[in-house]
Amino acid sequence: MTVVVALSAAGDPGVAAADVAHLAANGEAVVVVCDGAAAAEDVLAAFRAVGVPGVALDEAAVLAGDRECVSAAVLAEECDAGCVPVVSGDVDRAAAAIAGALDASLVVVADADGVSEAVVAAEAAVAGEVAEAVVVDGGRRDPVVRGLNGRAGIRVTPSVGG
């Protein structure tokens, strides 16, 4: 299984680092998307602190044109090398495009104040090619793993019948 983790600008990258380490240690391919290069550096520092090898990728290296064309090969190459790609760019759009292209689970990590906006972004993602997304509160313990296991968060699925 591949997991795409979208970290909002207000989120603490350290919150998800332990969860990403757990997923990677259990053979899951993980891609993290965050807002901008500074946020990517913070995420990579948090990963280093818990022993997760990561590599920074700019959105332009992964998404082409109107963000509809995802270079899955670039992401797969990094994941196969044991690294977690950290893509900096427009979190909502990039995470949705990447999750759709990789047929991945999408976990949107938001702070408590940003959950409503994150749900709207998750709804837009599942209206596209993402089968399911879960929005989790980054202020809680183990948000990504608990969200994937159905023990936390708001699960967003496509509506039946449009």
- What is the per-residue pLDDT for 108? 93
Say what the pLDDT of residue 10 is: 60
* Res 89: pLDDT: 85
Q: At what angle do helices 91-102 and 115-127 cross, to 10 degrees?
A: 40
* pLDDT of 161: 47
Residue spans of alpha helices (H) in the chain = 13-25, 36-49, 59-62, 72-80, 91-102, 115-127, 143-148
Class of domain 7-91+102-112+127-156: alpha beta
Q: What is the pLDDT of residues 146-160, one digit of tens each?
A: 999 999 999 998 875
Low-confidence stretches of the chain (pLDDT beneath 50) = 161
β-bridge mates for residue 7, sequence order: 34, 109
pTM, two decimals, is 0.91
pLDDT at res. 30: 95
Per-residue pLDDT at 59: 87
